[in-house]
Homo-oligomer: A and B are copies of this chain.
């Protein structure tokens, strides 16, 4: 009977695979987010499941979670299924914060778009008097 062996990544190869640098991986490890295996000579190695794990962490990070929040999440995960309520609560809080930011940022984009359009109209139009940006915004119902 054959034993299926999962490929082992050195820290460099793993960094490539997840889109980080080796120093960043060591930093994350220090912060308690990852716990790689070690070869007999002390070198780290990572397995396929670690790729998914880090990619998932990066998604959470991308929604605004800080390193310390990620650490808290990781600790709860290591503590087992009894911490699922805490994890769920944390993720819901992260989501709520995210949605607030998301709306704000969409409004910022709106104003940016309006300003670009205003410049383009100004460039295209005659050199003479052009309504100012505030007035322009009002025409679209965009405040401030």
Q: Which secondary structure characterizes the binding site on chain A?
A: helix
Q: Which of A118-143 contact B (CB under 8 A)?
A: 119-120, 122-123, 133-134
Interface range, A side: 20 to 34
Q: Are A108 and B59 in contact (CB under 8 A)?
A: yes
Contact residue among B63, B84, B107, B109 (Cβ-Cβ distance under 8 Å from A109): B63
Contact residue among B85, B87, B119, B134 (Cβ-Cβ distance under 8 Å from A87): B119
Chain B minimum-CB-distance residue to A144: B55
A27 at the A/B interface (Cβ < 8 Å)?
no
Contact residue among B95, B112, B134 (Cβ-Cβ distance under 8 Å from A113): B95
With A52-B144, A62-B104, A144-B52 already in contact, the answer to whether A112 and B84 are too (CB < 8 A) is: no
Q: Are A111 and B56 in contact (CB under 8 A)?
A: yes
Chain B minimum-CB-distance residue to A61: B108
Residues 74-105 of chain A, each 1 if its beta carbon lies under 8 Å from chain B, else 0: 00000000001101100110110010001011
Q: Which B residues are CB-close (under 8 A) to A15? A: none
Contact residue among B63, B107, B108, B116 (Cβ-Cβ distance under 8 Å from A112): B63
